[in-house]
Amino acid sequence: MDRPRFKRILLKLSGEVLMGPDGLLIDPTITARVAGEIQAVRASGYELCVVVGGGNIFRGLAGAAKGFDRGSADYMGMLATVMNALAVQNALEQIGVDTRVQSAIPMPAVCEPFIKRRAERHLEKGRVVIFAAGTGNPYFTTDTGAALRAAEMKCDALFKGTSVDGVYDADPKKVPTATRYETVSFNRVLADDLKVMDASAIALCRDNHIPIVVFNIRELGNFARVLAGEGTATIVQN
Ligand code: UDP
Protein backbone atom coordinates (compact mmCIF):
# COMPACT_ATOMS: atom_id res chain seq x y z
CA MET A 1 0.00 0.00 0.00
CA ASP A 2 1.22 3.54 -0.82
CA ARG A 3 1.80 5.49 2.33
CA PRO A 4 1.96 9.28 2.52
CA ARG A 5 5.42 10.88 2.59
CA PHE A 6 6.41 13.16 5.42
CA LYS A 7 9.09 15.80 6.06
CA ARG A 8 8.76 16.76 9.71
CA ILE A 9 7.70 14.08 12.12
CA LEU A 10 7.35 13.53 15.84
CA LEU A 11 8.35 10.22 17.39
CA LYS A 12 6.55 9.27 20.61
CA LEU A 13 8.36 6.69 22.69
CA SER A 14 6.88 5.12 25.79
CA GLY A 15 9.31 5.09 28.67
CA GLU A 16 9.02 1.30 28.69
CA VAL A 17 10.79 1.15 25.34
CA LEU A 18 14.00 2.03 27.23
CA MET A 19 13.66 -0.78 29.78
CA GLY A 20 15.98 -3.78 29.75
CA PRO A 21 15.18 -7.46 30.15
CA ASP A 22 16.92 -7.56 33.53
CA GLY A 23 14.72 -4.85 34.98
CA LEU A 24 17.02 -1.85 34.41
CA LEU A 25 14.67 1.12 34.11
CA ILE A 26 16.88 2.83 31.55
CA ASP A 27 18.99 0.21 29.83
CA PRO A 28 22.01 1.80 28.09
CA THR A 29 22.20 -0.88 25.39
CA ILE A 30 18.53 -0.59 24.53
CA THR A 31 18.65 3.21 24.68
CA ALA A 32 21.60 3.10 22.28
CA ARG A 33 19.59 0.90 19.92
CA VAL A 34 16.66 3.32 19.97
CA ALA A 35 19.12 6.16 19.32
CA GLY A 36 20.40 4.21 16.31
CA GLU A 37 16.85 4.07 14.92
CA ILE A 38 16.55 7.85 15.32
CA GLN A 39 19.97 8.42 13.76
CA ALA A 40 19.03 6.44 10.65
CA VAL A 41 15.89 8.51 10.15
CA ARG A 42 17.66 11.80 10.81
CA ALA A 43 20.35 10.82 8.30
CA SER A 44 17.66 10.39 5.63
CA GLY A 45 16.85 14.09 5.96
CA TYR A 46 13.70 14.10 8.09
CA GLU A 47 13.17 16.83 10.65
CA LEU A 48 12.68 14.98 13.86
CA CYS A 49 11.00 15.79 17.17
CA VAL A 50 10.94 13.20 19.94
CA VAL A 51 8.70 12.92 22.99
CA VAL A 52 9.65 10.34 25.60
CA GLY A 53 7.25 9.06 28.27
CA GLY A 54 8.15 8.21 31.83
CA GLY A 55 6.18 5.05 32.52
CA ASN A 56 9.35 2.96 33.00
CA ILE A 57 10.09 5.05 36.09
CA PHE A 58 6.89 6.54 37.46
CA ARG A 59 3.27 7.00 36.44
CA GLY A 60 1.05 9.48 38.26
CA LEU A 61 -2.04 7.30 38.18
CA ALA A 62 -0.22 4.33 39.68
CA GLY A 63 1.36 6.59 42.30
CA ALA A 64 -2.03 8.05 43.23
CA ALA A 65 -3.48 4.54 43.55
CA LYS A 66 -0.80 3.84 46.15
CA GLY A 67 -1.65 6.92 48.17
CA PHE A 68 0.35 9.80 46.69
CA ASP A 69 -1.51 13.00 45.92
CA ARG A 70 -2.37 12.82 42.20
CA GLY A 71 -0.93 16.24 41.39
CA SER A 72 2.38 15.50 43.10
CA ALA A 73 2.49 12.05 41.53
CA ASP A 74 1.99 13.54 38.09
CA TYR A 75 4.85 15.98 38.63
CA MET A 76 7.01 13.02 39.66
CA GLY A 77 5.97 11.34 36.40
CA MET A 78 6.89 14.43 34.41
CA LEU A 79 10.30 14.54 36.08
CA ALA A 80 10.74 10.90 35.07
CA THR A 81 10.29 11.89 31.43
CA VAL A 82 13.14 14.40 31.82
CA MET A 83 15.46 11.60 32.96
CA ASN A 84 14.49 9.54 29.94
CA ALA A 85 14.95 12.52 27.63
CA LEU A 86 18.47 13.07 28.95
CA ALA A 87 19.24 9.38 28.46
CA VAL A 88 18.07 9.49 24.83
CA GLN A 89 19.95 12.76 24.26
CA ASN A 90 23.11 11.22 25.65
CA ALA A 91 22.77 8.11 23.50
CA LEU A 92 22.21 10.27 20.41
CA GLU A 93 25.22 12.48 21.17
CA GLN A 94 27.41 9.42 21.55
CA ILE A 95 26.69 8.55 17.93
CA GLY A 96 27.15 12.10 16.68
CA VAL A 97 23.53 13.24 16.41
CA ASP A 98 23.07 16.85 17.42
CA THR A 99 20.17 17.21 19.87
CA ARG A 100 18.48 19.61 22.23
CA VAL A 101 16.16 18.76 25.10
CA GLN A 102 13.36 21.23 25.80
CA SER A 103 11.29 20.79 28.94
CA ALA A 104 7.72 21.96 29.49
CA ILE A 105 8.79 22.60 33.09
CA PRO A 106 11.73 25.02 32.98
CA MET A 107 14.90 23.66 34.59
CA PRO A 108 17.69 25.76 33.10
CA ALA A 109 20.59 23.84 34.64
CA VAL A 110 19.40 20.66 32.94
CA CYS A 111 17.97 21.61 29.55
CA GLU A 112 16.28 24.38 27.59
CA PRO A 113 12.73 25.43 28.39
CA PHE A 114 10.16 24.75 25.68
CA ILE A 115 10.27 27.69 23.29
CA LYS A 116 8.54 26.95 20.02
CA ARG A 117 10.55 29.33 17.87
CA ARG A 118 13.80 28.09 19.28
CA ALA A 119 12.73 24.50 18.67
CA GLU A 120 11.90 25.50 15.10
CA ARG A 121 15.42 26.86 14.65
CA HIS A 122 16.96 23.66 16.03
CA LEU A 123 14.98 21.59 13.55
CA GLU A 124 16.05 23.83 10.67
CA LYS A 125 19.67 23.28 11.73
CA GLY A 126 19.16 19.53 11.61
CA ARG A 127 19.06 18.96 15.36
CA VAL A 128 16.77 16.38 16.89
CA VAL A 129 14.58 18.13 19.47
CA ILE A 130 13.50 16.04 22.43
CA PHE A 131 10.51 17.43 24.29
CA ALA A 132 10.42 16.50 27.97
CA ALA A 133 7.93 16.90 30.84
CA GLY A 134 4.89 16.24 28.67
CA THR A 135 2.49 19.16 28.63
CA GLY A 136 3.88 20.52 31.90
CA ASN A 137 0.50 19.96 33.57
CA PRO A 138 -0.74 17.20 35.85
CA TYR A 139 -3.72 15.08 34.78
CA PHE A 140 -2.26 14.68 31.29
CA THR A 141 -0.04 12.06 29.69
CA THR A 142 2.93 12.21 27.39
CA ASP A 143 0.67 10.90 24.61
CA THR A 144 -1.24 14.15 24.84
CA GLY A 145 2.05 16.03 25.21
CA ALA A 146 3.21 14.39 21.97
CA ALA A 147 0.01 15.32 20.14
CA LEU A 148 0.28 18.87 21.44
CA ARG A 149 3.91 19.28 20.35
CA ALA A 150 3.18 17.66 16.99
CA ALA A 151 0.44 20.25 16.43
CA GLU A 152 2.52 23.18 17.65
CA MET A 153 5.57 22.18 15.62
CA LYS A 154 3.37 21.50 12.58
CA CYS A 155 4.57 17.93 12.21
CA ASP A 156 3.25 15.98 9.24
CA ALA A 157 2.72 12.87 11.34
CA LEU A 158 3.09 11.43 14.81
CA PHE A 159 4.95 8.12 14.92
CA LYS A 160 4.11 6.01 17.94
CA GLY A 161 6.94 3.56 18.56
CA THR A 162 5.68 0.59 20.58
CA SER A 163 6.38 -3.10 20.99
CA VAL A 164 3.57 -4.18 18.65
CA ASP A 165 3.47 -3.74 14.89
CA GLY A 166 0.24 -1.74 14.67
CA VAL A 167 -3.35 -1.44 15.84
CA TYR A 168 -5.47 -4.60 16.12
CA ASP A 169 -9.23 -5.02 16.38
CA ALA A 170 -8.64 -6.95 19.64
CA ASP A 171 -5.67 -7.60 21.91
CA PRO A 172 -3.45 -9.93 19.82
CA LYS A 173 -1.90 -11.32 23.02
CA LYS A 174 -5.33 -12.52 24.19
CA VAL A 175 -7.32 -13.06 20.98
CA PRO A 176 -5.50 -15.27 18.43
CA THR A 177 -7.82 -14.21 15.60
CA ALA A 178 -7.17 -10.48 16.14
CA THR A 179 -6.36 -8.71 12.88
CA ARG A 180 -4.22 -5.66 12.29
CA TYR A 181 -5.61 -2.58 10.61
CA GLU A 182 -3.58 -1.16 7.72
CA THR A 183 -5.46 2.11 8.25
CA VAL A 184 -8.15 3.01 10.75
CA SER A 185 -10.08 6.22 11.38
CA PHE A 186 -9.66 8.34 14.49
CA ASN A 187 -13.36 7.98 15.21
CA ARG A 188 -13.20 4.18 15.04
CA VAL A 189 -10.26 4.23 17.45
CA LEU A 190 -12.29 6.36 19.86
CA ALA A 191 -15.58 4.49 19.43
CA ASP A 192 -14.02 1.03 19.85
CA ASP A 193 -11.56 2.24 22.50
CA LEU A 194 -8.68 0.73 20.52
CA LYS A 195 -5.42 0.95 22.43
CA VAL A 196 -3.43 3.45 20.41
CA MET A 197 -2.97 6.53 22.56
CA ASP A 198 -5.26 8.08 25.15
CA ALA A 199 -8.48 9.69 23.95
CA SER A 200 -7.38 13.30 24.35
CA ALA A 201 -4.28 12.64 22.23
CA ILE A 202 -6.38 10.95 19.54
CA ALA A 203 -8.87 13.82 19.47
CA LEU A 204 -6.08 16.40 19.27
CA CYS A 205 -4.50 14.61 16.30
CA ARG A 206 -7.88 14.16 14.63
CA ASP A 207 -8.81 17.84 14.99
CA ASN A 208 -5.42 18.96 13.67
CA HIS A 209 -5.25 16.39 10.86
CA ILE A 210 -2.09 14.74 12.12
CA PRO A 211 -1.97 11.05 11.16
CA ILE A 212 -0.65 8.64 13.78
CA VAL A 213 1.58 5.84 12.56
CA VAL A 214 1.80 2.95 15.04
CA PHE A 215 4.80 0.67 14.54
CA ASN A 216 7.22 -1.61 16.37
CA ILE A 217 10.32 0.35 17.41
CA ARG A 218 11.99 -2.74 18.89
CA GLU A 219 12.53 -4.25 15.45
CA LEU A 220 15.91 -3.22 14.10
CA GLY A 221 15.74 -0.71 11.22
CA ASN A 222 11.97 -0.59 11.37
CA PHE A 223 11.52 3.14 12.00
CA ALA A 224 13.35 4.02 8.77
CA ARG A 225 11.56 1.25 6.86
CA VAL A 226 8.11 2.38 7.96
CA LEU A 227 8.95 5.98 7.08
CA ALA A 228 10.03 4.82 3.64
CA GLY A 229 6.58 3.29 3.20
CA GLU A 230 7.77 -0.26 3.86
CA GLY A 231 7.49 -2.41 6.97
CA THR A 232 4.41 -3.18 8.99
CA ALA A 233 2.43 -0.40 10.65
CA THR A 234 -1.06 1.00 11.10
CA ILE A 235 -1.97 4.54 10.08
CA VAL A 236 -4.68 6.26 12.09
CA GLN A 237 -6.17 9.09 10.04
CA ASN A 238 -9.36 11.00 9.31
N1 UDP B 1 2.51 13.41 33.07
C2 UDP B 1 1.72 14.49 33.42
N3 UDP B 1 1.43 15.44 32.48
C4 UDP B 1 1.88 15.35 31.20
C5 UDP B 1 2.66 14.24 30.84
C6 UDP B 1 2.96 13.28 31.80
O7 UDP B 1 1.29 14.62 34.55
O8 UDP B 1 1.58 16.25 30.40
C9 UDP B 1 2.89 12.43 34.10
C10 UDP B 1 1.82 11.39 34.36
O11 UDP B 1 1.82 11.09 35.73
C12 UDP B 1 2.31 10.20 33.58
C13 UDP B 1 3.80 10.30 33.76
O14 UDP B 1 4.04 11.71 33.70
O15 UDP B 1 1.83 8.98 34.07
C16 UDP B 1 4.64 9.59 32.74
O17 UDP B 1 4.13 9.78 31.46
P18 UDP B 1 3.36 8.62 30.66
O19 UDP B 1 2.59 7.77 31.60
O20 UDP B 1 2.60 9.30 29.58
O21 UDP B 1 4.58 7.81 30.06
P22 UDP B 1 4.61 6.59 29.03
O23 UDP B 1 3.41 5.73 29.30
O24 UDP B 1 4.56 7.16 27.65
O25 UDP B 1 5.92 5.91 29.31
Q: Average per-residue pLDDT in the chain?
A: 96
What pTM was computed for the model?
0.96
**E strand or H helix at 184, and its extent?**
strand 183-185
Q: Name the more confident of 60 and 173.
A: 60
Could you tell me which residues are annotated as the binding site? Answer: 12-15, 54-55, 59, 74, 135-142, 162, 168, 171
How far, in Å, CA of 221 to CA of 34, rounded?
10
Q: Is residue 207 part of a domain?
A: yes
Q: Is residue 3 part of a domain?
A: no
The answer to whether residue 31 scores a pLDDT higher than 80 is yes
Q: Name the more confident of 231 and 68.
A: 68
Q: Is residue 86 part of a domain?
A: yes
Q: What is the mean pLDDT of residues 212-223?
A: 95
Q: Does ligand 1 lie within 6 Å of residue 63's CB atom?
A: no
| Strands (DSSP E) found in 96-139 | 99-103, 112-113, 128-132
Please count the structural domains in the chain: 1
| Alpha carbon of 188 to ligand 1 centroid (Å) | 24
The pLDDT tens digits for 169-191 are 998 889 999 999 999 999 999 99
Q: Is residue 145 part of a domain?
A: yes
| Alpha carbon of 172 to ligand 1 centroid (Å) | 25
The pLDDT tens digits for 68-112 are 999 999 999 999 999 999 999 999 999 999 999 999 999 999 999
Q: Does ligand 1 lie within 6 Å of residue 162's CB atom?
A: no
The CATH number of residue 209's host domain is 3.40.1160.10
Query: Residue 70: which of 141, 15, 12, 14 has the closest Cα?
Result: 141
Q: Is residue 2 part of a domain?
A: no
Give the range of the structural domain holding residue 154, as residue numbers without chain letter.
Answer: 8-237
Ligand 1 nearest-atom number relative to CA 15: 25
Alpha-carbon distances of 193 from 23, 72, 148, 202, 205, rounded to whole Å: 30, 28, 20, 11, 16
Q: Does ligand 1 lie within 6 Å of residue 60's CB atom?
A: yes
How far, in Å, CA of 153 to CA of 220, rounded?
27
Q: What is the ipTM of this complex?
A: 0.99
Q: Is residue 68 part of a domain?
A: yes
Q: Say what the pLDDT of residue 195 is.
A: 87
- Amino acid identity of 81? T
Q: Whose CA is nearest to atom 3 of ligand 1?
A: 140
Q: Does ligand 1 lie within 6 Å of residue 211's CB atom?
A: no
